[in-house]
Structure 1
Amino acid sequence: MPQSRQIPVFDGHNDLLLRLHLAPHRRERIWLTGEGRGHLDLPRMRSGGFVGGLFAIYVPSPRDTSLGNFETLMDHPPYDLPLPAAVPQSEAQAAVLSMAAHMIWMQESSRGAFRICRTMAEIEAARASSVIAGVMHLEGAEAIDPDLLSLHAFHAMGLRSLGPVWSRPTIFGHGVPFRYPSSPDTGPGLTEAGKRLVKECNALGIVIDLSHLNEAGFDDVASLSDAPLVASHSNAHAVTPSSRNLTDRQLAAIRETRGIVGLNFATVFLREDGKRAPEIGWEPVLRHLDHLISVLGEDHVGFGSDFDGATVPEGIGDVTGLPALQQALRRHGYDDALLEKLCWRNWLAVLRRSWGS
């Protein structure tokens, strides 16, 4: 059988910046040379065909032992994990600035191999010159003030995608808890400040990410936003009934706006039993992709790996497992035209529709 070609991947979500933020003394090994940990580093990105994506800036919650160990609890469904308290803006801003600075350092230290991109023209130029394109994404808007002045500052730094919440509450809205089994209808939606945030993101050309919003918040964004609806790393609730996954009604709303859903590789959102264990084979991945494509259409599905932020299937393992994923999809009957859409074309198309350039 002839060797299948490796298709480049533009990914909707990763947490590499959090690894750098938590271990700055190891940043050269984490990013430049690789240390055999985590899912991402520059050498493995090149090996796995990772050509770009949205790099999340996520503010970690202060450690609270009363909340228990999330990962242990996810090993034993059913579960309903208590959400951490809101993070004060001053604390959040310090963490966000640290991770934004690390992303700038990634660009400066890579000797031209990685570039922060603010426009489609910059992404296309990076792709043409075999440079990894990084889009700055804010996962949870705790660092932004209610008057939205800091939103403009972050936009000037390169911010082009934003999720109003990461599950825990913010002044802008309410996230969906980590609950299995559960619907995503878990509480109130956007606040008045959150509605202003949506409109200002539209004006600035900042993608609004629906992953981690509950159903009411999703509906609020859908009614307010004039941009394509985007869920950067979410799966199908019809396959795995986790609160974090999207119902068919939500998927249809995304399709109607010509938006996108990035398939989340996190096993807790792939496995039908809601467990975290990575020993799952390819079937759960295939079931989710088949369902997403059946509801959204093949032009509105991509990948949102959650690399460095979740346990992923053992068949993927890390970014170097992307070619194995492609081979599994080929065996399942996906041709290269469809694979190209899933791997990179759909993400670039929705960013073009969102940014306009």
Structure 2
Amino acid sequence: MIPVFDGHNDLLLRLLLAPEKREEIWLTGEGRGHLDLPRMRAGGFAGGFFAIYLPSPVAHDDAELMAQMETPPYALPLPDLIPFQAAIAPAIEAAGHLMWMERASGGALRIVRSAAEIRAAMAEGVIAAILHMEGAEAIDEDLNALHVFHAMGLRSLGPVWSRPTVFGDGVPFAYPSAPDTGPGLTEAGKRLVKECNALKIMLDLSHLNEKGFDDIARLSDAPLVATHSNAHALTPSSRNLTDRQLDMIRESRGMVGVNYAVGFLNEDGCQDATRGWAPMLRHLDHLIARLGEDHVGLGSDFDGAEIPEVLGDVAGLQGLIGAMRDHGYGADLVEKIAYRNWLGVLERTWGG
């Protein structure tokens, strides 16, 4: 079984929305979602980025929005900015759920803060969990909360999740659309980049618009990383990265984790999960050709997206490994995509 290190999941959101069911969700599985401890073990899930993501306080008709994505073209409205005071409490609660998961796992999962700790956990067969923040609503403009979350274990942060923050603007969910959809980073966003560099917190470019991407590329001294994004040249969704952006990531010795969301994989942007492995393999081919074999990995978006039926959930990861082999990827490349490239970029970002 080839271990898989994953760039993004939203399991903490499931716990945040149903805390009374967290033992069932995490320890035994509830028959829903993509992730739980038994299925992670079954699929060879070695670790990854566990995202603090905050749902918008104002309810939206998710069924109606998803229906629009079924029939491209579409351009979905984004929720409003969440103020810091409304975001901080649920963000701390989500971080607490990951800490509870570590304790409740009986040693099967460990929160890690360095590449060396990831390697040690993998050597012991322990799932390595990185605390990540998808959208920095819970960080104040003075960045005091950034230091608090860093002390909790935060080692990766995306300044935005599509909706705006005080730090910048994200891309809307739109097809077809370029990612050049708004202004760049605010002055607070530029300070955030510098402070994340100083604290060795990885900056995630997924969901960020093109001008914000360019600002981080100009300001940051770390490799450029998009934890769960695909190729715009193949699927012209605003959420995907242009070849120009991919070239900048390659030049920085950065990384892209392929997103399993079918709407960002399928060429026509449709939410059709029945197309097998071909869309994902096509994006992998393009990213490898553009970035090189050392800068491509996996970024599932488990529990945050509709994924291919052929994969199903985290227990199906070895099927993906088999599909890459059948596609002609050699053993060395498969291991790079599965986990080695993530370890490499984290060492380059965090240090040893």
What is the TM-score when the length of structure 1 is the normalising length?
0.97
What secondary structure sits across from 2:91 in the alignment? helix
Question: For 2:15 and 2:172, how far apart are their aligned partners in 1?
Answer: 26
Greater Cα offset, 219-228 or 272-281: 272-281
Trace 1:212-291 onto structure 2 (pairs within 5 A).
212-291=207-286
Among 83, 86, 89, the alignment partner of 1:88 is 83
What secondary structure sits across from 2:217 in the alignment? helix
Among 186, 204, 220, the alignment partner of 2:181 is 186
Greater Cα offset, 341-350 or 121-130: 121-130
Question: For 2:349 and 2:65, how far apart are their aligned partners in 1?
Answer: 34
Among 81, 105, 109, the alignment partner of 1:110 is 105
Question: For 1:283 and 1:356, how far apart are their aligned partners in 2?
Answer: 36
What secondary structure sits across from 2:51 in the alignment? strand
Match of 1:100 in 2: 95
Question: What amino acid does structure 2 have at the position aligned with 1:321?
Answer: G
Structure 1 consecutive aligned stretches of length 4 or more whose deviation exceeds 3 Å: 63-68
Match of 2:43 in 1: 48
Matched, 1:317 2:299: no
Distance 1:285 1:66, change over 3 A: closer
Match of 1:73 in 2: 68
Trace 1:134-145 onto structure 2 (pairs within 5 A).
134-145=129-140
Question: What amino acid does structure 2 have at the position aligned with 1:310?
Answer: A
Question: What amino acid does structure 2 have at the position aligned with 1:37?
Answer: R
Show CA shifts across 1:116-170 (max 9, x none): 0011121111111100000000000011110101100000000000000000000
Question: For 2:224 and 2:328, how far apart are their aligned partners in 1?
Answer: 28
Match of 1:207 in 2: 202
Displacement after TM superposition at 1:208 (Å): 0.3
Show CA shifts across 1:224-262 (max 9, x none): 000000000000000000000000000000000100000
Match of 1:133 in 2: 128
Match of 2:302 in 1: 307
Question: For 1:139 and 1:239, how far apart are their aligned partners in 2?
Answer: 25
Question: For 2:46 and 2:23, how far apart are their aligned partners in 1?
Answer: 20
Question: For 2:152 and 2:2, how far apart are their aligned partners in 1?
Answer: 31
Trace 1:153-192 onto structure 2 (pairs within 5 A).
153-192=148-187
Question: For 2:89 and 2:7, how far apart are their aligned partners in 1?
Answer: 24
Coordinate RMSD, CA, aligned: 1.0
- What is the number of equivalent residue pairs in this alignment? 352
User: In 2, are the aligned partners of 1:67 and 1:82 still within 8 Å (CA)?
Assistant: no
Trace 1:323-338 onto structure 2 (pairs within 5 A).
323-338=318-333
Fraction of identical pairs, as percent: 68
Distance 1:98 1:298, change over 3 A: same
Question: What amino acid does structure 1 have at the position aligned with 2:68?
Answer: L
Match of 1:342 in 2: 337
Q: Structure 1: where are the runs of 5+ without partners?
A: 1-5
Question: What amino acid does structure 2 have at the position aligned with 1:64?
Answer: A
Displacement after TM superposition at 1:64 (Å): 3.2
Matched, 1:17 2:12: yes
Question: For 2:228 and 2:134, how far apart are their aligned partners in 1?
Answer: 11
Distance 1:280 1:67, change over 3 A: closer
User: In 2, are the aligned partners of 1:282 and 1:315 still within 8 Å (CA)?
Assistant: yes
Question: For 1:126 and 1:327, how far apart are their aligned partners in 2?
Answer: 24
Question: For 2:188 and 2:266, how far apart are their aligned partners in 1?
Answer: 36
What secondary structure sits across from 1:273 in the alignment? coil
Match of 1:3 in 2: none
Question: For 1:65 and 1:317, how far apart are their aligned partners in 2?
Answer: 27
Match of 2:350 in 1: 355
What secondary structure sits across from 2:110 in the alignment? strand
Q: Structure 2: where are the runs of 5+ without partners?
A: none
Question: What amino acid does structure 2 have at the position aligned with 1:106?
Answer: M
What secondary structure sits across from 1:161 in the alignment? strand
Among 56, 59, 80, the alignment partner of 1:61 is 56
What secondary structure sits across from 2:307 in the alignment? coil
Question: For 2:35 and 2:159, how far apart are their aligned partners in 1?
Answer: 25
User: In 2, are the aligned partners of 1:67 and 1:84 still within 8 Å (CA)?
Assistant: no
Question: For 2:276 and 2:38, how far apart are their aligned partners in 1?
Answer: 26
